[in-house]
Amino acid sequence: MADVETACFVIADISGYTDYLAGVELDHAQDILADLIDTVVGGLRPPFRLAKLEGDAAFVYTVADAIDGSLLQDSIEATYFAFRRRLRDIKQSTVCKCDACRHMADLDLKFIVHHGQVAIQSMAGQEELVGRDVILVHRLLKNAAAEVTGGNAYALYSDECIRAMGIDPAAHGMAAHSELIDVIGETDLWIRDLEAAWQQENERNRVLVGRDEAAMLFEGDVEAPRPLVWEYFTLPEHRPKWQGSVHIDELGDGRRGVGTVAHCAHGDFMLVEHILDFRPFDYITVSHQIGGPDSEPLIITYALAEAADGGTHVEARFGEPSDDSRMQFDAMRPTFEQNYPIAIQTLKKLLVEHHGSAEAVPEPALPHSSERFLTQPVTQLSP
């Protein structure tokens, strides 16, 4: 008998695909779906692993009793942003004028997110997730959330998931909702409008120290995927393990992101950190006050880039200090130069231990896209 575990479930469903298939070129439509499914699944794992593909949807899960609320939303929204960027890139790159390529912008993406119990069974060499909560997350695919948001781009979180996240959903920009589910009954839910989040993402000013403009640069490669590295750069419980701080306290009960203030205790002094820009899983830019109270803060960007081997290239880029804080910066430079290479080596060791400890369980294969929509124009319906 399979053990019962607690897990977070996500169904990422490509909205409008059934209507999209009506009257379009099937070979290009299948290629586009395969490409988008690869983008979606790639954005969610880790921390999620693929349970199965369900037509135009991916069902993923991660075993966890509790969830960091900001980190879960980072994963969902970064995946949605990657989906939208991929649609945009395909549209700009393709030379095809067929209906499948012209109407792919009609596709969108929604997420159903739930937390509950699951039994994981092995059937014919494949994992099978069973239990009431697995049924519930699938039943929630049929909902009226689009009537609230006015579109098909949303994340629908169950109240059980909100409790596991330990957040105030209203403070995280979610709207209350409920659905009457057959057999299960009235179910309390929370909606996050992803179209609005996408617009905010595109309109927000970037605060980024470029590699070429950095006053100091520390870098290294770690053998772990970007989402896992992002956890160690953003979660207060992980950062002291490698950055050298004793403990970190985040202020406020809203979502971690632009405007978040953290108190970082380093021995006998406290460093106040402000997040200026926050782009999961690409980079985070913070400010530290190193001079007098009226001096310009020091700006640091921590940038993460996917490496060819599936690992992550990490860079800590220090911005040029202002004239009134340069003396303090120069005084601290030897400390930075000594401590940051050690910190990156410590991070590498931690991530190797963390990533290497995960049991490698085979996942379902993803569909392959030959990208014919980019290279083989179609002028009429396929036979």
- Torsion over CA: 342, 307, 63, 359 (sign): negative
Assess contact for 263 and 249: CB atoms under 8 A: yes
Q: What is the mean pLDDT of residues 270-278?
A: 87
pLDDT value at residue 272: 83
Share the mean pLDDT of the chain.
Answer: 86
- Highest mean pLDDT: which of 290-294, 327-331, 372-376? 327-331
Structure tokens, 27 = 């070979």
How does pLDDT run across 213-272, given as a tens digit for each residue? 999 999 999 989 999 999 999 998 898 888 876 678 888 767 899 999 988 776 666 678
pLDDT in tens, 33-91: 888 999 999 999 888 999 999 988 999 999 999 999 999 999 999 999 999 999 888 88
Q: Rounded to 10 degrees, what is the CA torsion of 34, 39, 42, 43? A: -150
When mean pLDDT is compared across 95-104, 147-156, 162-171, 175-184, the lowest value belongs to: 95-104
Determine the average pLDDT of the residues in 277-283: 94
Q: Residue 28 has which token pair? A: 């290009």
Where does 181-265 have alpha helices with state H?
194-203, 226-234, 240-243
Among 230, 248, 149, 241, smallest CA distance to 189 is for: 149
pLDDT at 381 over 50: no
Whether residue 379 has pLDDT greater than 60: no
- Is 106:33 a contact under the CB 8 Å cutoff? no
**Spatial separation of the C-alpha atoms in residues 246 and 233, rounded to whole Å:** 15
Angstrom distances, CA of residue 157 to CA of 74, 138, 209, 339: 14, 13, 35, 41
The residues that bridge with 67 in the sheet, in sequence order, are none
- What is the per-residue DSSP string for 123-167? ETTEEEEESHHHHHHHHTTS-SHHHHHSSS-EEEEEHHHHHHHT-
Q: How far apart are CA 78 and CA 6, in angstroms?
A: 24
**pLDDT value of residue 337:** 92
Domains of the chain in sequence order: 4-202 (3.30.70.1230), 206-357 (3.30.530.20)
What does the alpha-carbon distance between residue 90 and residue 105 come to, in Å, rounded to a whole number? Answer: 10
pLDDT band at 25 (very low <50, low <70, confident <90, very high): low
CA distance 364 to 322: 53
Residue 370 has pLDDT above 80, yes or no: no
**Closest C-alpha among 141, 148, 150, 176 to residue 162:** 176
